[in-house]
Structure 1
Amino acid sequence: MMANPDTTVADGVVVSLHYTLRSADSEIIDSSVEVGPLVILQGYEEVIPGLENALYGMTVGDEKDVIVEPAAGYGERDDTAYEVLSLDLFPEGMELEPGMELDLYDQETQQEFLAWVAEVNDENVVLDFNHPLAGETLY
């Protein structure tokens, strides 16, 4: 189905877009160009707030450069959002490396969340609960 060229991005509109995400020093962090467009339902918090807000009012074929400050991106870094866990809590033979993303599940709250391995030594694993792009201005 072809998009109506007169459709303006508003809540409830399906949006298909290509993006290139860059760091402050212009390094490409992520891009949809080679993998295909990102498809979202506008207004349902499927992307960071800074991008979602920038899409409002755009129409088919529009292009826009967007700068997203940390508060509208992945938040500020929280220096208390680290936890040291015993290596014994992880499955034997699991190869943990700094930067590795882990999908975790809290049995008490039944909540799923992400953490990133910050450090591994012979006894412990340090988990970082900040998103890797927390504190970064995104371009």
Structure 2
Amino acid sequence: MNYTINQITSTETYLVRQPVLRSGKPIESCIFDGDDLNTTFHLGIYSENKLVGVCSFFKNNQPLITETFQYQLRGMAVLNEYQGLGLGQLILTYGENLLKKRNIQTIWCNAREKAIEFYKKTGYHIIGEPFLIKDIGLHYIMNKIL
């Protein structure tokens, strides 16, 4: 299968964010603070011109991390029927490489409990204590030095 990765708009991310991350919730729940800042960028992975996965990168500091130049990964999602094919790792690695070119030192995310193993396999580590995000579930702060 041939996949391509492109930079996309925040609005385009909703096509994957909603069914995967906000299922049953209104489309407005897919809008994240900072989505349209000029320091934020969004990536989409396509299978034969169909958007099947997304992730967004926000210039945002996590107080538990000491590195000065940080970015937060948010809205990482791959459509259910495309999960398990390595697409999440492809798009995440692509984004990490873009951050390295910008001299970003570390990337972090608020990982859902069910995504912990995915992030561990890609080099992320849990920091701090688990916490609950209302209406979404248990999360862990995870980071990776780039």
- Structure 2 length-normalised TM: 0.24
Higher helix share: 2
Which structure would you say has the larger RCO, counting Cα contacts within 8 Å and 6 or more residues apart? 1
Higher strand share: 2
Larger radius of gyration: 1
